[in-house]
């Protein structure tokens, strides 16, 4: 049963490495030690197949541990892997001089750990197999001279056959540097025959450079009588192609214990090295842009921080988020969005110095490390990034800009997590100020972050405590002048503040994930209230409910609508779902399918804020829309701005040509009302008829209108 010993002063690492080691193959026994001295005592009486040790330990570093371990007679040829965070050559030389076999960089890649350990175990198994066969051969030779000769011949032939079948290059060389034996793996790789190389200098087969190195190492084995720890080397074949081998050199002894030759075995690990390199690359790079990912960015930031502390210099972290990128996916599809991200990545990469790092964190978010930078040099750098991204978007139809948050090391954070967190806050400040700009982190942003967290807590409590209420704004038919419905608008009766408008909490609800449960509550409450109007004798009134784009992304809107109608008993014909253009454009096919399901229920659909998106008017033909609502921005100046009037007139004409009613929002004056009536608008909504009001006030308004209508 293979035995692996793990030495590390940190319990977490020991547990992780133990689990990884146990998973290499079935039947693995793992022994762990936190104290290297304790491990050395245990190893005096026990022989493992593989030892894995940390380099940096308080009681005794890895090099000293390996040196003492190698001093034990039974441990000279046992593979030892060193785990180290140090990349300097001096640390690796210390470990090699002490007898280290291989290295793993910390933090340890799990795939690399398992792969390296498995290969070293296999190599050790080959060593032990050869040693066992050699011992068996020696025992047979001791029986009798004749028997020894016969057993030697038989065993040698069998051993030769076994050795020739191994996927390893094996050779034996004398003390004067001549080849005594080569297996089929070696002759095949170097395209030679045994007769050509047996008795010849090692250089005959390996070449001048590799041969000289091999002879020098053989000399060390003859002098010390100890095997060399395994090492990696590149070996060229006869055609000049190089492959990577894991090589082990061990002494071969005669019956009286004299060293007669040095046995060299080399395992081809080229494929393993390529796999390891690919795994490292995939683990550290973004699949779409091939830029470094968050993991590699953290590593680069740690290195840069260490270098900056030594040189007393700083660096800047630029966190870049694209403004308006969603419109690329909405208008042109995700493939176009991916192409745009690759284009941005390539352009940004071309702007970097060798000392800088650009990474993609995910979605449309990038991070850039500007080495040797301060607040003064970070400004033109950020401006250039904004310009480059804007140039990438030219000709694409939708305007794409960038919001950049800048955090400086060491003033804004000592480690990667703090710098990223602070740069993120600065980025959101830049985005909140309209985007297409940069913003430096300032300490006051922490307070705003805490305020946001507090708002989130209060809103979640508000949902549980039913602190949200609905206000209703009348919708009027222009032909009759009668109130025909209302738009339900959410408000927050916030303790200590009174009634709070949606501008305070809806943006946070969108960002925090609270919009979905809030939207569901609004839908159910509006349907319940509209049903109450029916039971108290009001005329058939339509209730308009705004739907969030987030709700449609979950593909649950038809079910929620059906449940709300069923629970309230409201007729589907009295429910009007108001959708923005952005909802329709986020996934045309899926939204169209959802809308058809709701139309089948009898629900009406209106397009809110019509004309403010990036869309073409052609999509109207694809959807079963009952109404389009002209945004208030076009209504506001309709009596003074010819362009706004032209837009309103065009929308009304379009709607009527398609059999769709047109509703004007934001009607506040008599002149606006007169103009809308003159242009043939069907319905209006705005302060002229009433601001959003509580349900009881809306009921009173409708009743008063009914009484006036009866008197007339």
The pLDDT of residue 471 is: 95
DSSP string, 658-683: TT-EEEEE---SHHHHHHHHHHT--E
| pLDDT, position 277 | 85
The DSSP output letter for 467 is: -
pLDDT digits (tens, 9 = 90+) for 116-152: 888 888 888 887 788 777 677 666 666 555 555 565 5
Strand 179-182: give its sheet, edge to edge: 179-182, 168-173, 259-268, 242-253, 228-236
How far is residue 157 from each of residues 154, 160, 164, 172, measured CA to CA in Å? 5, 5, 10, 16
710: pLDDT strictly greater than 70: no
At 712, the pLDDT band (50, 70, 90 cuts) reads: very low
- Residue 286 phi/psi, 5° resolution? -75, 130
Per-residue pLDDT for 618 more than 80? no
Q: Is the pLDDT of residue 616 over 60?
A: no
pLDDT tens digits, one per residue of 256-285? 888 999 999 999 898 888 988 888 888 889
- Is the pLDDT at 446 greater than 60? The verdict is yes
Reported as type and span, the H/E element at residue 416 is helix 416-432
Question: Distance between CA atoms of 664 and 476, rounded to whole angstroms?
Answer: 10
Per-residue DSSP letters for 622-659? GS--SEEEE-HHHHTTTTT-HHHHHHHHHHHHHHHHTT
pLDDT, mean of residues 525-554: 87
**Regarding predicted confidence, which is higher, 28 or 513?**
28
Residue 569 to residues 108, 459, 535, 542, 588, Cα–Cα distance (Å) = 61, 29, 11, 14, 30
List the one residue out of 618, 541, 553, 540 whose CA is nearest residue 579: 553
Say which range, 264-278, 295-309, 460-474, 503-517, has the weakest mean pLDDT.
503-517
The residues, ordered by sequence, that sit 6+ positions from 177 with a Cβ below 8 Å of its Cβ are 201, 202, 203, 215, 218
Q: What is the pLDDT of residues 366-399, one digit of tens each?
A: 999 999 998 889 999 999 999 998 888 765 555 7
Token pair belonging to 494: 């916030």
Computed over every residue of the chain, the mean pLDDT equals 85
- Backbone Cα Rg of the chain: 39
Question: Predicted confidence band at 612 (pLDDT cuts at 50, 70, 90)?
Answer: low
pLDDT at 547 over 70: yes
Which of 229, 263, 267, 230 shows the shortest CA–CA distance to 245?
A: 267
45: burial class by Cβ within 10 Å (0-12, 13-18, 19+)? exposed
Helix (H, G, I), strand (E, B) or coil at 530: helix
Collect all residues with Cβ–Cβ distance below 8 Å to 123 and sequence separation of at least 6.
79, 230, 246, 248, 265, 267
- What are 341-356's pLDDT values in tens digits? 999 999 999 989 988 9
pLDDT digits (tens, 9 = 90+) for 65-76: 888 988 887 777
Confidence grade of residue 431 (pLDDT, cut at 50, 70, 90): confident
Confidence band, pLDDT 50/70/90 cuts, at residue 614: very low
Alpha helices in 166-266 (DSSP H): 184-190, 194-197, 203-206, 208-224
Q: What are phi and psi of 183, to 5 degrees?
A: -90, 175
For residue 96, name the pLDDT band (cuts at 50, 70, 90).
confident
Quote the pTM value: 0.46
Query: What distance in Å separates the CA atoms of residue 712 and residue 707, rounded to the nearest whole number?
Result: 9
Cβ atoms within 10 Å of 443's Cβ, excluding its own: 9
């Amino acid at each position: 049963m293979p035995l692996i010993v793990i030495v590390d002063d940190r319990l977490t690492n020991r547990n992780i490495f133990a689990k990884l080691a146990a998973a290499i193959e079935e039947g693995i026994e793992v022994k762990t030690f936190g104290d290297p001295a304790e491990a050395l005592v245990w190893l005096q009486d026990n022989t493992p197949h593989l030892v894995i040790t940390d380099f940096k330990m308080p009681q005794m570093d890895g090099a000293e541990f390996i040196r003492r371990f190698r001093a034990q007679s039974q441990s000279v040829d046992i593979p030892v892997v060193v785990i180290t965070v140090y990349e300097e050559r001096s640390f690796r030389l210390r470990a090699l001089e002490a007898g280290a076999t291989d290295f793993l960089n910390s933090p340890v890649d799990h795939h690399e750990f398992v792969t390296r350990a498995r290969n070293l175990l296999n190599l050790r198994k080959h060593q032990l197999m050869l040693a066992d066969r050699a011992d068996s051969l020696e025992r047979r030779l001791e029986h009798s001279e004749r028997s020894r000769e016969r057993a030697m011949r038989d065993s040698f032939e069998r051993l030769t056959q076994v050795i020739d079948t191994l996927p390893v290059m094996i050779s034996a060389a004398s003390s004067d540097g001549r080849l005594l034996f080569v297996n089929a793996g070696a002759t095949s790789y170097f395209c030679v025959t045994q007769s050509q190389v047996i008795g010849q200098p090692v250089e005959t087969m390996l070449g001048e450079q590799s041969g000289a190195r091999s002879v020098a190492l053989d000399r060390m084995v003859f002098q010390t009588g100890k095997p060399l720890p395994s090492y990696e080397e590149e070996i060229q074949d006869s055609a000049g192609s190089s492959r990577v081998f894991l090589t082990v050199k061990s002494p071969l002894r005669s019956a009286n214990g004299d060293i007669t030759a040095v046995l060299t075995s080399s395992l081809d690990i080229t494929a393993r090295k390529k796999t390891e390199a690919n795994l490292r690359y995939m683990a550290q790079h973004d699949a779409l842009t091939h830029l470094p990912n968050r993991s590699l960015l953290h590593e680069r930031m740690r290195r840069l921080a260490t270098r900056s502390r030594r040189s007393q210099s700083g660096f800047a972290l630029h966190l870049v988020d694209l403004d308006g990128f969603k419109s690329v996916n909405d208008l042109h599809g995700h493939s176009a969005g991916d192409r745009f991200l690759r284009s941005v990545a390539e352009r940004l990469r071309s702007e970097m110095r060798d000392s800088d790092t650009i990474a993609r964190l995910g979605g449309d978010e990038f991070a850039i490390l500007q080495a040797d930078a301060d607040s003064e040099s970070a400004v033109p750098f950020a401006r250039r990034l904004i310009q480059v991204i804007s140039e990438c978007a030219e000709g694409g139809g939708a305007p794409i800009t960038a919001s950049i948050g800048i955090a400086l090391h060491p003033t804004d954070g000592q480690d990667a997590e703090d710098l990223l967190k602070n740069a993120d806050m600065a980025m959101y400040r830049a985005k909140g100020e309209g985007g297409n700009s940069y913003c430096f982190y300032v300490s006051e942003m922490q307070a705003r972050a805490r305020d946001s967290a507090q708002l989130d807590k209060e809103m979640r409590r508000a949902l549980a405590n039913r602190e949200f209420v609905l206000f209703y704004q009348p919708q009027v038919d222009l032909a009759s002048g009668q109130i025909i419905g209302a738009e339900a608008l959410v408000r927050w009766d916030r303790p200590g503040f009174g009634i709070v408008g949606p501008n305070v909490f809806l943006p946070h609800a969108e960002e925090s994930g609270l919009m979905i449960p809030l939207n569901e509550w609004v839908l159910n409450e509006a349907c319940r209230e509209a049903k109450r109007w029916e039971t108290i004798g009001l005329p058939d009134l339509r209730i308009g409910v705004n739907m969030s784009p987030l709700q449609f992304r979950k593909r649950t809107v038809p079910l929620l609508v059906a449940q709300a109608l069923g629970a309230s008993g409201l007729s589907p014909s009295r429910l009007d779902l108001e959708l923005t253009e952005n909802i329709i454009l986020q996934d045309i096919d899926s939204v169209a399918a959802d809308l058809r399901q709701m139309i089948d229920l009898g629900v009406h659909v209106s397009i809110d804020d019509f004309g403010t998106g990036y869309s073409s008017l052609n999509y109207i033909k694809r959807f079963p829309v009952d109404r389009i609502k002209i945004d208030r921005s076009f209504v506001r100046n309709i009596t003074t701005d010819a362009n706004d009037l032209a837009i309103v007139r065009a929308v009304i004409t379009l709607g009527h040509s398609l059999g769709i009613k047109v509703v004007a929002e934001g009607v506040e004056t008599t002149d606006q009302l007169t103009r809308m009536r003159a242009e043939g608008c069907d319905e209006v909504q705005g302060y002229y008829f009433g601001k959003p009001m509580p349900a009881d006030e809306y009921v009173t308004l409708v009743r008063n209108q009914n009484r006036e209508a009866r008197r007339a």
